[in-house]
Structure 1
Amino acid sequence: MTYRYTNRTLAAVSTLPLLLVFSLAEATAQQAAPLPELKVEARRVAPQPRANRAVRRPAETRPAATSRPASATPSAVPAGPASLTAPTAARAIVEAARVPGAVSVVEDKDFKQKQAITPKDVLDYVPGVFAQPKWGEDTRLSIRGSGLSRNYHLRGVLMYMDGLPINTADGYGDFQEIDPSAYRFVQVFKGGNGLALGANTLGGAINFVTPSGHDSARAQASLTGGSFGFIREQVSSGGVHGPFDYFINLAHQRQDGFRDHSGGSSVRGSANIGYRFNENAETRFYLNANTIRQRIPGEVDRWTALHSPRTPAGVNVANNWQRNVDSFRIGNKTTLKFDTTTVEFGGFYVNRHLMHPIFEWLDYKYNDYGAFARLSDDRKIGGYRNRFLAGVQLHNGSTDALQYVNGAGATKGPLSSQARQHSNNINLYGENAFYVRPDLSLVTGVQVLLANRKQDGVYGMFPWTLPATFNKDYTTLNPKVGVVYDLTPKAQIFANVSRSAEVPTFGQGMLVANFTSLKVQRATTFEIGTRGREEDYTWDVTAYHSRLNNEFQCVNVMFGACSEENTRRTVHQGIEAGFGAAIWKSAVSSGDKLWFNASYTFNDFRFRNDAVWGNNQLPGVPRHYVRAELLYKHPSGFFIGPNVEWAPEAPFVDNTNTTKSAAYALLGARMGYDSGKMWSAFIEGKNLTNRKYISSANVVHDFVAAGNPNLYNPGNGLSVIGGVNVKW
């Protein structure tokens, strides 16, 4: 069967949020009942008794670990939230403690006191996440070995902005629309632990959350600049006016780049406006717009990467390879409370235009749209606490994929190919947590995905042997069972077994003789861990073992892109460990601390008795990755300290395990001032020894058989960047 929707159906779905808001708002006022009082051990949002009051967050005497372990008190949620639709970081930390698996919450104060340009800058201290920039904001991002054969952009991790999808409907993802200056916090759900968002892929989900008018400053501005011609100007404003609140953020950025032909510029804007009908009903609209222009230096050979890292690939300069994006996103989320039950629903629309002169001149226009509804309930059943979550998501999209000959200087030549691609997805999910004791919950869940991939007519040479027309349906069923046990009010152990599944994206099948021959990638993951937080130490440790069937793997390379096919059996297993500790207290001044923060990731990804590759390691990411910082922080707000980034063992770049990238160790340092009041400032140095190293590498099936291709992306040399932030 094929999952199709008429224009009348889509119109009804898109208007459903508004109709329900105005029809149910009055009903919720009549049924309003106070929720049980709940508390949290976390930073509380300052109240706003008058419109446009600036929020001033107090300085902390201890710099928290970037990957913040959740509080182990699952009932601890701030009473009377200022916003029903826009969660706070405190609430997100508590919600994470209810998940029987690895979840991290990264607050803005953990990445805005330093360089925050790329996803790596935000996620680098989250154990289990490997994120390495290539050029501009483009990044090789992998969680638990997701998307290893995806040499460009993203697969295997679903990204959201305020709970609304960033990925296109077929699962493809990109990083250029991510703006760290706009977010209050970031949630990282690893593996099958993103069921609350309806996500269930091998890598999990990342949700970037913007503030509302209730937890933002009335006015704020920042200026950041430094090496390689980088400069960013950013302003924001937020406030509350009666039942309305708003937040708006605008950032302009430009950089020349470390490498030749790697400069770029961008303008990114985000806004949301909420309306509170009463204490139990609220709606919020989200807007996001981006204009991005970015040159691409390209991969080079290993010698060039390690000896002349600024050198770009010759063809990239001759044909002026670029990646340019114009995008617009609008969405709505409405929340209604009925005693112990909360209902959320909404919809979204995304228009994205990709102008991408590379081996061909790609001119792609994406139109994605969708709707969602989610119900959560927390009540006593037979004297036992029970939490229930159920949801449905619709995410559809179409792409007009035109490709032209790319001539010298990015001249758009004759039309080479054209196709219209369609992706339809219906996602149903549910989860239940039954507390057999106040400190012990049993969690069961399931996700069902109904997906369709369709392409209409291809003209010309490209996409090579992809069939001109195809239409294929996919159905996946992904159950989950887990347990969470509170050792103490501030410490937990957890375990789960989950299934995950990934449907092919159009980009994967570009070089495949028959796109429809690609099967769904499936995985069964076993996970156990512990997390906790005390005044002077924190920890977040997880071990996992995933057994995959039909993993997408690289079998050939052309223009750097992998032709992928299913590999019968592989294993992904590893350890994700984050630690923080005060190793020195009140030594120089009363209340000061020397805080040690470390993140360690062990990756063991292998073929499993493969007929061709045996038990070889899967290429793409290092087996060991360490990030550590020793930061002195004075109660006045001053901080200073060194940090290291270390990949002690070079990863393979091919399935044959004959060719490696390069190991590296980098030294950095930062210092600054942030009292939580009107202004803050920082200065940060990276790669202080100016080491030549390889930050990331593409992968191939066989390096020699592929003709010794250029696979390596050099990392940046020594850089210094500083910034000043003012709010009032």
Structure 2
Amino acid sequence: MKQPFCSTRSLEAVALACALAWIFPAIAQQPHKRVRRILTPQTRSRPVVHPEHIVVTGMSRASATLHPTGQTTYSAERSDFANRSAQSVADMMATVPGVTFLQGNGPRDTVVSVRGSGARQSYGLKNIQVTEDGFPMTQPDGTARADLIDPHAYEGVDVFQGPASTLYGNYAINGAINFRTRNGANIHGLELGSDFGSFGTFNNYMTIGAGNKSYDFMLFGSDVRGNGFIPNSRYNTSTENMRLRISLTPSDRLILKFVNNVTDTSLPLRLSLNQFRTNPYQNGCANAASAAAGCASVNLLTNGAYGAYQTTSPQQAGLGRFDRRTITGLRWEHDFDPRTTWRTQFTYDQRHIDQPTSTTAFVGPFNSYNVQTDLTNHGHVSRTPLTSFVGASFDYMDYGYQVYNLTPQGGATRGTLNSTSYGHQWNIGLRFQEDWQFAPRWHAVVGLGGTQSDVGAVETLYTHTESSTTQRDITVNRRFFQLAPEASLVYAPSQTLTLHTRVGTAYATPGYSSFFVTPQGTYGNNTQLKSETSLGFDLGAEWHPSPSLNIQATGFYEFYRNELVSQSAGVNTPAGSYTFNAPASQHRGVELGATWQPWRVALPGARLKLSYTYDNQIYTKYTEVLSNSTLARSFSRKGNLIPGVMPHFLDARVLYDQPDGWFQGLGAFAEVTWRSAFYIDNANILKAPSYALLNLEIHYDPPSRLGWIHRLHSYFEVQNVANLTYAAGATDISDTLLANGQQAGRDVLAAKTGSIYAGTPCAFFGGVRIRF
């Protein structure tokens, strides 16, 4: 169903406690030549000259990032996203193979998935470790969210793909992501910018930067707001981001990092597939009593405690998210000599949430403390280079949240207390890695990491009746110890071709919330759960036969054990579902990234850029229990595709930037984004529909010969040119057992709510930025 958003009147705006730590290397904020990640020795300290580098691409880099040599790595640079509206992390990483996106709970809460990580989630980034300038952005329980990220503040992003717990520890089961903020010396002054466009969107931002050999300073701030294209999706998000590097002496450096984000957004409800097809943008849904067809609603306790329910719309209930996240980090880097560097850093991270997102409001702080220290030495075995790394880390999170029933009074009014939970999680570990260039064209890497984790919590459940209130306490505590070895090999037979292969392992411990419901479906201790683990094999190549063509391709095959999933506990159980370990699954696929200048001499400003991923993930051993009010049955899911994982996704761009002449600085691109259909249930009955979008953009960066006009940048973009109605977010739904003992078919599942958010209709955006 299409809406007339592309008419001209749719332009709404034009114009710890400190302890020894474990391995996240600190990342030096010093400019250096970019070394393609899968091809080179580890870049863990300031550059050291080896007898021979394998391949150097000659692009500048604002920071060096820890990663295993031979690990598949794809990057997006500022040139890939700076000339567009770039409202969320999805706009930053659209060109990165292996990475997919779904709409989360809020305008910038993008569900980022690397090789299917977090495919079952409705929010955030799961099963990947996230860092920014080397400081951790993932809390000890594995939670990271994209609300923090305003793309205007960043120079680029690196995605390290495949199992990576050797270096990145707990929850790096699908890899890691490092965001790189802009270098102050490159900014060299003040930049003021504003983006504006459809649905009342405005983003006003500022960047200050300065630097020399003694220091580098970057400060960014933005305020973005809009009405949204779905009722009850108005938002206002502010972000501050700062990084300061100071060279105290020739061998000592301090790096200070600060990030603060406040998210204030109303929140619509997710739809069933049938509702999405009937009323994708939820028009006419403000009043539940007189709602149009295809509207989502929520049933709230009339008195907020017990008894009768009242059906309300998201607007009437006042659903939304009102969250704050503040991160402060400090790192010290010391060179014992030109070949040996020691780094130590401390990070404090507070996430305070207030989330009346459905029938309840989830409120409370999550305080995290992270300490890391590591030592890197660039030595030799005989005359061959050997890079040795050893590190330690400790992180700790304490939390305390309350869950309140919502009432129909509006404004997210809280009723009685539903439950509380207070607890902690800590992870402590050691790791090492040896990177040996044993021949001029060969690199071999071996490494081992280990983590001890402890999860403890007390959950209190409250039951309210007319005459009394009762409570029940459930105490859980569980420790886990995990090891993650890895090995990789890199071979460069020529200056134009590099091959790499790697075997990596990873693990992810169960979260605290999974321990409170037993396999019998009763509230109680479920601490028999095991950690999810993975063993992955990568084989890849990078080939650049000419200056105009670069191709990077990787095949991967990963074996998963004890994947954490939720399923029914049986007939008439109090809690309904519980978390258990699915015994085995396999993830396999191919990733391809390519850049080509087909007419390098005749038309040097023209480029083609392609990103494609095939991701096939299946259960190899998993029996699911479904139940209704009278019986329960088991169904084998062996051979079924894992729900939530897109089998195919592609981003293709045709770009042109005029390099000289009267129109120097004028550029444009056309982009096609394609996402295939994917299953959203374990039985593989119902699919979220596929879609293909066309986006167009034009921008202008005046050349220096035009004087002060050179300081002005402007752009205009049309998104979803064909005004296609598509599913931008689709979370998994549970299968249903009918009264006759058979699984429900497609018609029943298509009516299940709580899954789909529609994507943006045809929209217009423009922006200006000026440098002083």
Q: Deviations over 1:621-666 (max 9, x none)?
A: 221111101111211222112111112x410110001111111111
Which residue pairs with 1:625 in the alignment? 649
* The one of 154, 169, 172 aligned to 1:183: 154
Q: Is the 8 A contact 2:192 2:206 kept in 1?
A: yes
Q: CA deviation at 1:565?
A: 2.1
- Distance (whole Å) between structure 1 residues aligned to residue 209 and residue 165 of structure 2: 29
The one-letter amino acid of 1:637's match is G
Measure how far apart 1:703 and its partner are.
5.3
Partner of residue 420, structure 1: 422
Cα distance in 2 for residues equivalent to 1:673 and 1:540: 30
* 2:673 is the alignment partner of 1:645: yes
Deviations 1:463-487 (A, max 9, x none): x999711110011101001101123
Contact 1:620/1:652 (8 A) holds in 2: yes
Within the candidate set 689, 695, 702, 2:728 is matched to 695
Q: Distance in 2 between matches of 1:199 and 1:105?
A: 23
**Which structure has the greater CA radius of gyration?**
2
Match of 1:223 in 2: 194
Partner of 2:761: 717
1:124 aligns with 2:94: yes
Say if 2:38 and 2:70, in contact at 8 Å, map to a contact too: no
Q: What is the Cα deviation at residue 504 of structure 1?
A: 1.2
Q: Structure 1: which 5+ residue stretches go unaligned?
A: 1-8, 15-37, 43-68, 82-87
Q: Secondary structure at the match of 2:147?
A: coil
Paired AA for residue 492 in structure 1: T
Deviates more, 1:531-540 or 1:506-515: 506-515
The match for 2:717 is: 684
Identity of aligned residues (%): 22
Q: Which amino acid aligns with 2:256?
A: F
Match of residue 391 from structure 1: 391
Separation in 2 of the partners of 1:619 and 1:519? 21
Q: Tell me if structure 2 keeps the 8 A contact 1:262–1:297.
A: yes
Give the counterpart of 1:541 among 548, 553, 556.
553
SS in 2 for 1:120: helix
- Residue 6 of structure 1 corresponds to which residue in structure 2? none
Q: What's 1:330 paired with?
A: 328
Is the alpha carbon distance of 1:392 and 1:41 closer, same or farther for their aligned partners in structure 2, counting shifts above 3 Å? closer
Query: What's the counterpart of residue 467 of structure 2?
Result: none
Q: Tell me the CA shift for residue 306 of structure 1.
A: 3.1
Match of 1:526, as an amino acid? F
After superposition, give the CA deviation of every residue in 1:20-50 in whole Å (9 maximum; x if it has no partner).
xxxxxxxxxxxxxxxxxx98478xxxxxxxx
Instruction: Determine if the alignment matches structure 1 residue 437 to structure 2 residue 439.
Output: yes
Secondary structure in 1 aligned to 2:397? strand
Structure 1 residues 467 and 476 mapped into 2: Cα distance closer, same or farther (>3 Å)? Answer: farther
Given that 2:205 and 2:221 are in contact with CA atoms closer than 8 Å, whether structure 1 keeps it comes out as yes
Whole-angstrom distance in 2 between the partners of 1:545 and 1:663: 25
1:607, 1:613 within 8 Å by CA — same for their partners in 2?
Answer: yes
- After superposition, residues 37-52 of structure 1 pair within 5 angstroms as 40=33
Q: Deviations over 1:377-422 (max 9, x none)?
A: 2122211111112211111011111111112221022222112120
- Following superposition of structure 1 onto structure 2, how do residues 247-286 of structure 1 map, counting pairs within 5 Å? 247-286=218-257
The structural deviation recorded for 1:586 is: 4.4
1:56 corresponding residue in structure 2: none
Matching residue of 2:476: 470
Aligned twin of 1:614:
638
Tell me which amino acid in the other structure corresponds to 2:462: G
2:279 to 308, 317, 322: 308
Determine if the alignment matches structure 1 residue 519 to structure 2 residue 530: yes
Shift of 1:159: 1.3
Q: 1:641 to 1:246 in 2, by over 3 A?
A: closer
Q: In 2, Cα distance between the equivalents of 1:348 and 1:596? A: 41
Distance 2:183 2:721 in 1: 38
Aligned to 1:5: none
Instruction: Give the aligned residue type for 2:643.
Output: P
Between the aligned partners of 1:205 and 1:546, the Cα distance in structure 2 is 16
Please name the residue that 2:135 is paired with. 164
TM-score computed with the length of structure 2 as normaliser: 0.80
Counterparts of 1:303 and 1:168 in 2: how far apart (Å)?
37
> What do residues 68-91 of structure 1 show as CA deviations (whole Å, max 9, x unaligned)?
x6585659999699xxxxxx9734
Contact 2:166 2:505 in 1 (8 A): no
Partner AA of 1:381 in structure 2:
V
**C-alpha distance in structure 2 between counterparts of 1:496 and 1:671, whole Å:** 41
Helix, strand or coil for the counterpart of 1:584?
Answer: coil
- Superposed, which structure 2 residues align to 1:186-225 within 5 Å? 186-193=157-164, 195-198=166-169, 201-225=172-196
The equivalent of 1:147 in structure 2 is 118
Contact residue 561 and residue 584 of structure 2 kept, 8 A:
yes
For the pair 1:115 / 2:90, whether they are aligned, the reply is no
Q: 1:288 to 1:97 in 2, by over 3 A?
A: closer
Distance 1:341 1:313 in 2: 60
* Residue deviations 1:296-333 (CA, integer Å, cap 9, x gap): 11210213323422116323333222111122211101
Please give the secondary structure, in 2, of the residue aligned with 1:317. Answer: helix
CA RMSD, 1 decimal: 3.0
CA distance in 1, matches of 2:712, 2:418: 54
**Residues 501-510 or 193-202, more deviating:** 193-202
| Alpha-carbon contact 1:72-1:491 (below 8 Å) kept | no
2:610 to 586, 591, 598: 598
Alpha-carbon distance in 2 for matches of 1:684, 1:461: 53
**AA aligned opposite 1:453:** V
More deviation in 96-105 or 174-183? 96-105
Aligned positions of 1:461-500 closer than 5 A: 468-500=474-506
Looking at structure 2, the residues matched to 438 and 336 of structure 1 have their Cα atoms a distance apart, in angstroms, of 30
After superposition, give the CA deviation of every residue in 1:132-163 in whole Å (9 maximum; x if it has no partner): 22441122322112122223333211112222
Matching residue's letter, 1:678: R
Aligned: 1:727 with 2:771: yes
Q: How does 1:640-679 map to 2 (within 5 A)?
A: 640-647=668-675, 649-674=676-701, 678-679=711-712
Task: Go from structure 1 to structure 2 and tell me whether the alpha carbon gap of 1:160 and 1:75 turns closer, same or farther (over 3 Å shift).
Answer: closer
Shift of residue 698, structure 1, vs aligned partner: 1.0
**Residue type matched to 2:297 in 1?**
G
- Distance 1:71-1:609 versus aligned 2 partners, 3 A rule: closer
1:101 is displaced (CA, Å) by 2.0
Q: Distance in 1 between matches of 2:590 and 2:164?
A: 16
In structure 2, stretches of 5+ residues that fail to align are 1-15, 22-30, 50-57, 283-294, 299-313, 465-469, 624-635, 704-709, 739-743
C-alpha separation between the residues in 1 aligned to 2:65 and 2:138? 24
- After TM superposition, give the deviation of residue 546 of structure 1 in Å: 0.7
Q: Which amino acid aligns with 1:602?
A: Y
Runs of 4+ in 1 over 6 A off after TM superposition: 75-81, 92-98, 464-467, 704-707
Distance across 2 between alignment mates of 1:700 and 1:616: 15
Partner of 1:350: 349
Contact kept, 8 Å, 1:71 with 1:97, in 2: the verdict is: no
Secondary structure of the corresponding residue to residue 163 of structure 2: helix
